[in-house]
Amino acid sequence: MQDFSAPDDIRSLFSQAMSEMYRKEVPQYGTLMDLVRDVNAATLKADPELNARLDAAGELGRLDVERHGAIRLGTAEELSMIRRMFAVMGMLPVGYYDLSVAGIPVHSTAFRPVEDAALKQNPFRVFTSLLRLDLVEDRDLAAKAENILTLRQIVTDEAKALIELSEAQGGLTKEQAHTFVHEALETFRWHSEATVCTQTYNALVDAHRLIADVVSFKGPHINHLTPRTLNIDAVQAKMPSYGITPKAVIEGPPRRETDILLRQTSFKALEETVVFHGETGSHTARFGEIEQRGVALTPAGRALYDAALTNARHTAAQADAPTYETVLEAEFSSFPDDLDCLRRDGLAFFRYRVSGTVNHKATTIDDLIATGALVADPQVYEDFLPVSAAGIFQSNLGAEDQSNYRANANQDAFEAALGVSVIDEMALYADIQSASLTAALTALGQDHLVETSQAG
Ligand code: OOG
Ligand code: NI
């Protein structure tokens, strides 16, 4: 039996290598990383309780390495090949996002680690979109785009060989893993030379800027890398003094005592020089983003969130409406803003751990928590939000591209392209919650409570 590198270690190597490459390609990303690191350090210093909680939950370690990226693919073959590439690094497709609702001709998934230990080590995720040429009205242009896409190969021969080797032998040796990371990086590199001429590029832009971005290049350049901050309002406020102009509003829930789901903001895409068959022009694709992650919500919590967000967007769109922030805060005022309340109401997912001892037979789980024997840590939301993602897409595509495609989800087609089904994110959080609770109750000698916990 050969000694293989752990997929978690390959993912860490890859995430680090991507970060280094993107820092060189987009210097503003490096500036943003520095800003986020400083704000995180200051936040932890000012809030010892948060520091202690993250430390006890084993979450401090992942903070500095944590980031997500995004890519956009052109064909089913590309999506299935990228799935196999990410699988080598322990990243699986989780969730299905339909962006057609927002007038963006893609549907997406997030490749990410799913196991508890893997998430703790390095939760690197890639939001991966597949272009939907079926939504393009101009069928001739769609056919032309498809032809262009079938001519490219986005994975190097060496990377492909190593993916196949890893599948055949069940992993990669350390040396193979290093070569694999080096080769995999090539797929996501920026190409300043387009594969199409100016005229084709312009026709694609006219159909949708996003289509031009996917079709005109040799590969799916990484379009942003996003560090995780503990205080997104502070980073947003400080961006201008670092020479970065953020988008106007932060996507997601409003600022609260207890962070839920995901808040995100980005800065505008850079205009970059591109050569189109010898002719110099430009293209905007790559940008920067930051995110603040909170607790994952249960289906009941998520339904509340979706309703509040929909109402806020509706109200804010009315004439004479107050600012979006004001409306958003008002809509979320009835959303419980306290971890214990979120837990008791079954609105959020937790991870349980033992923190003391008990020598009596407790009658409820709440008893064990009240006495300090059992601790419920909030589970970090590891996924994305479709409405927020649409806002991020739009902020760097330009408002004029918000054409309406009508809701047109097609998860079956996406999964057929992917070659497997996407994993249901809610099931992952629920499994972590129940497994951690069962283990903690057993360790505390409170097995009699396991069944009640599973019933709820
Ligand atoms: C992806 C936009 C979505 C997020 O964090 O929600 C996204 C893209 O622009 O390709 O990255
Ligand atoms: Ni993003």
Tokens 């998430």 identify what position? 119
**What is the percentage of the chain residues whose pLDDT exceeds 90?**
80
Residue 255 phi, psi (nearest 5): -65, 130
Tokens 């020598």 identify what position? 359
Residue nearest ligand 1's atom 5 by CA? 389
End-to-end CA distance of the chain: 44
Compute CA distances 323 → 108, 248, 329, whole Å.
31, 11, 10
| C-alpha span between 360 and 350 (Å, rounded) | 24
| C-alpha span between 35 and 296 (Å, rounded) | 26
Q: Give per-residue pLDDT as tens, 299-329.
A: 999 999 999 999 999 999 888 889 999 999 9
DSSP 195: S
- In ligand 1, the atom with minimum distance to the C-alpha of 226 is 5
Average pLDDT, integer, range 150-171: 97
Which uninterrupted H or E stretch holds 224? strand 224-227
- In ligand 1, the atom with minimum distance to the C-alpha of 264 is 5
- Judged against a pLDDT cut of 50, whether residue 169 lies above it is answered with yes
Confidence of residue 453 (pLDDT cuts 50, 70, 90): low
Q: Which one of 96, 127, 129 would you pick to mutate in the ligand 1 pocket, going by the greatest count of ligand atoms within 8 A of its CB?
A: 127
Q: Which one of 108, 265, 392, 394 would you pick to mutate in the ligand 1 pocket, going by the greatest count of ligand atoms within 8 A of its CB?
A: 392
SS3 content of the chain, % helix, strand, coil (to 5): 50, 15, 30
Compute CA distances 387 → 103, 227, 228, 303, 430, whole Å.
11, 20, 19, 14, 23
Residue nearest ligand 1's atom 9 by CA? 393
Tell if the pTM clears 0.75, that is, is over it. Answer: yes
Asked if residues 165 and 246 have their Cβ atoms less than 8 Å apart, the reply is: no
| C-alpha span between 88 and 14 (Å, rounded) | 11
Which string of DSSP letters, residue by residue, matches 84-125?
HHHHHTT-EEEEEEE-GGGT-SEEEEEEE--SHHHHHH---E
Average pLDDT, integer, range 370-394: 93
pLDDT at 1: 60
What residues are in contact with ligand 1 under a 6 Å CB criterion? 70, 72, 127, 129, 223, 264, 289, 384, 388-389, 392-393
Tokens 């006495």 identify what position? 371
Asked if residues 152 and 193 have their Cβ atoms less than 8 Å apart, the reply is: no
Confidence of residue 405 (pLDDT cuts 50, 70, 90): low
pLDDT at 291: 96
How many CB atoms are located within 10 Å of the residue 237 CB?
12
Q: Please, how many CA atoms are within 13 Å of residue 367, restricted to the half-sphere of its CB?
A: 13
DSSP 295: B
Average pLDDT, integer, range 336-344: 96
| Angle, helix 76-88 to helix 174-187, in steps of 10 degrees | 150
Asked if residues 136 and 211 have their Cβ atoms less than 8 Å apart, the reply is: yes
pLDDT at 398: 66
Determine the distance separating the centroid of ligand 2 and the alpha carbon of 447, expressed in angstroms: 42
Average pLDDT, integer, range 15-20: 95
| C-alpha span between 260 and 339 (Å, rounded) | 10
Asked if residues 378 and 38 have their Cβ atoms less than 8 Å apart, the reply is: no
Which uninterrupted H or E stretch holds 351? strand 350-354
